[in-house]
Amino acid sequence: MRKFAIYGKGGIGKSTTTANLSAALSMMGKKVVQVGCDPKADSTLNLLHGEPVMPVMDYYRKYTEGPDFEHIGKEGFGGVFCIETGGPTPGLGCAGRGIIATFDLMDEQEVFQKLQPDVVLYDVLGDVVCGGFSAPIRDGYADEIFIVTSGEKMALYAAANIIKAVENFKSRGYAQVKGVILNRRNVDDEYELVKAFADEHGLPIVADIPRSKDIQYYENKGMTVVEGNPDLAVSQIYQDLARELLQA
């Protein structure tokens, strides 16, 4: 079982990247679990054709106890099993605690033992790398980390903070950053900026994803671009990235 965490600042496109990777991996015949670790609980929406799964934290609020295995998630496109952690009531509580509670519940319900996935993808908000948001780094859930960034200053700043957080756990043998995914915003000298950042940290750029109206077109239809038209150039990039991750 390969376990990847996809990190990046809010709004950088990590959920789009993760969902398209899940779709691509499923089309390769892999059994995939995607865990959305964001209070917005929208990581898996396009795998579920716009019909969201109830986040674990919402389930706790509604029923006072966590869901059983039958209700912890549901299957989306390609048989991808979709789980969303959710978060606290806005303005109350710590969002990171939702991740910890969900991970504990997944262990209790033996989700991976029952599903026997080939690949697990965690979609993790990278603006915050403390507490629950660092759980995939430090608690053995993910083995490999990839960071989604553009050439924008704040995206690179968040990426640098993620790398620092990982470095703090390096001596403990936890997950390691394996590469950078460039998700373009068409800023000046974007590739050069991200290449300089990657080189500074000794990391490869494993994918260069262009801005594409096709991605938004299919998301408006409630699906990933990989599902909508796997033959498009941008879909091929996601499929190549899926193969790259498995070969790394």
Closest C-alpha to 234, from 5, 10, 13, 11: 13
Q: Which two tokens stand for residue 117?
A: 């996935």
Could you confirm whether 195 is annotated as catalytic?
Answer: no
Q: Which of 9, 30, 38, 123 is catalytic?
A: 9
The vertex-30 CA angle with 29 and 36, nearest 5°, equals 135
Beta strands across the sheet bearing 2-8: 74-75, 81-84, 32-37, 119-125, 2-8, 144-149, 176-183, 205-209
- pLDDT tens digits, 163-177: 998 888 776 768 899
pLDDT at res. 168:
81
Could you confirm whether 213 is annotated as catalytic?
Answer: no
Alpha-carbon distance 224 to 218, whole Å? 6
Q: Which amino acid is at 24?
A: A
Q: Which of 42, 104, 118, 127 is catalytic?
A: 127
Please give the DSSP secondary-structure letter assigned to residue 203: -
Average pLDDT of each block of 10 consecutive residues along the chain (248 residues)? 94 96 98 94 96 94 89 97 87 76 94 98 81 78 95 96 85 85 97 98 98 96 98 98 92
Are the beta carbons of 39 and 10 closer than 8 angstroms?
Answer: no
Could you confirm whether 42 is annotated as catalytic?
Answer: no
Q: Which two tokens stand for residue 215?
A: 């991605």
Q: Which of 31, 40, 178, 195 is catalytic?
A: 40
pLDDT at res. 174:
83
pLDDT at res. 90:
67
Q: What is the CB neighbour count within 10 angstroms for residue 118?
A: 16
Alpha-carbon distance 166 to 77, whole Å? 32
Q: Which amino acid is at 72?
A: I
Q: Which of 3, 14, 38, 123 is catalytic?
A: 14
Could you confirm whether 153 is annotated as catalytic?
Answer: no
